[in-house]
């Protein structure tokens, strides 16, 4: 792997971590709602954000795969 490829991969990893962190934070809010610490409406909003963030992460990983697939040398 070249330095340029490693740099590109690092950007993709960073971009994938952002939605994963959002998922973690929103899951904590859902947990709090189940425990009665926050209103149930917040849990529903958090679940929508979890779904959206999972899609964002999937899109980032798909984009990364496409970029690196184009760079495969035989």
Higher pLDDT, 62 or 1: 62
40-70 vs 3-34: helix axis angle to the nearest 10?
160
Confidence of residue 74 (pLDDT cuts 50, 70, 90): low
Q: Is 58 helix (H, G, I), strand (E, B) or coil?
A: helix
Confidence of residue 69 (pLDDT cuts 50, 70, 90): confident
Q: What are 16-65's pLDDT values in tens digits? A: 999 999 999 999 999 999 999 999 999 999 999 999 999 999 999 999 99
Instruction: Provide mean pLDDT across the span 10-14.
Output: 92
DSSP 25-42: HHHHHHHHHHTTSS-HHH
Residue 5 per-residue DSSP state: H
């Amino acid at each position: 792997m070249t330095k340029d490829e490693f740099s590109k991969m690092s950007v993709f990893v960073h971009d994938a971590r952002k939605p994963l962190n959002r998922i973690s934070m929103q899951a904590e809010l859902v947990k709090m709602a189940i425990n009665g610490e926050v209103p149930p409406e917040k849990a529903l909003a958090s679940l929508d954000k979890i779904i959206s963030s999972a899609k964002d992460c999937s899109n980032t990983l798909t984009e990364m795969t496409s970029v690196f697939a184009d760079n495969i040398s035989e």
